[in-house]
Amino acid sequence: MTIVGDMGQATTASSSASWNAVLEVLEPRREPTRVDLTVSYRTPEEVLDFAAPTLRAAAPDLTPPRPVRRAGHLPSVDQVSREEFVATLAEVTRREVDAVAPGRVAVIVTGERVEEVVTILRSKGLDAIDPRDQESRGLGADLIVLSAQGANGLEFDGVVVVEPSQIASRGARGASTITARGLRTLYVAMTRPTRRLAIVAVEPLPETLR
């Protein structure tokens, strides 16, 4: 049996949190062989560099993965006022869709804001869908809006992460408190693209993105 995972992407509340904890439960009869996978085949160097401080804060013991590709495009950050948010989100999303066409773009937000963001993008003439919608083309659509906790294991050509601070506060009791689990969720969200990453925020960015 082979068990594969990235503790830097552990985003469920009940995660085992360490491989030693997993082995304690499994009690394998044979001594297990542990190997560390250190290469990122998917995420380009520019995106991994951008996400590295978040990984360091979320999982200090982990060695960041080594990229094998370069995208030729640095992640963009748009921090705007509340009034500018809708226009900026639509503009950035359209730019990303055009840049990767005919590829796929995901806009990643907190779970509570999926519906709101779908509505915003559609009102601006973008064909955004919620892949959970039964009538939709699901994850195969060109532009989808995804909750950060639903993004594990997926990949897209371009990703727009909305309000990273809200994603990073996941599991916090009080509002806008950054948590380790939230930072790992944000790390997952930011490392979904194979080509381009964009950030759009009204709230101040988490320190790891400044």
Partner 1 sequence: MRSVGRRPDAALIDEARVLLGPLRRPRPIAKPGDNGILEGIDLDAYAGDVRAAALREAQRNAPILSNELDEAEFVTYGHIVIDEAQDLSPMNFGS
Minimum gap (Å) between residue 163 Cβ and partner 1: 23
Closest CB to partner 1 among residues 25, 175: 25
- Are the C-beta atoms of residues 176 and 165 closer than 8 Å to each other? yes
Minimum gap (Å) between residue 71 Cβ and partner 1: 12
Minimum gap (Å) between residue 168 Cβ and partner 1: 18
Q: For residue 206, give the DSSP letter.
A: P
Exposed/middle/buried for residue 209 (C-beta within 10 Å: 0-12, 13-18, 19+): buried
Minimum gap (Å) between residue 21 Cβ and partner 1: 6
Closest CB to partner 1 among residues 13, 175: 13
Q: ∠ CA(171), CA(175), CA(180), 5° rounding?
A: 35
Torsion angles phi and psi, residue 115, rounded to 5: -60, -45
- Give the residue carrying structure tokens 């005919």: 102
Closest CB to partner 1 among residues 69, 124: 69
Closest CB to partner 1 among residues 141, 201: 141
Radius of gyration of the chain, Cα coordinates, nearest whole angstrom? 18
Closest CB to partner 1 among residues 32, 204: 32
Tokens for 118? 């779908």
Tokens for 46? 């520019």
Minimum gap (Å) between residue 123 Cβ and partner 1: 27
CA nearest to 138, candidates 167, 106, 98, 109: 106
Binding site for partner 1 (CB under 8 A): 1-12, 14-16, 21-22, 24-26, 33, 35, 37, 39, 41-42, 102-104, 139, 152-157, 194
CA distances from 184 to 11, 42, 77 (A): 6, 18, 19
Handedness of CA 203, 179, 66, 41 (dihedral sign): negative
Closest CB to partner 1 among residues 78, 155: 155
Minimum gap (Å) between residue 17 Cβ and partner 1: 8
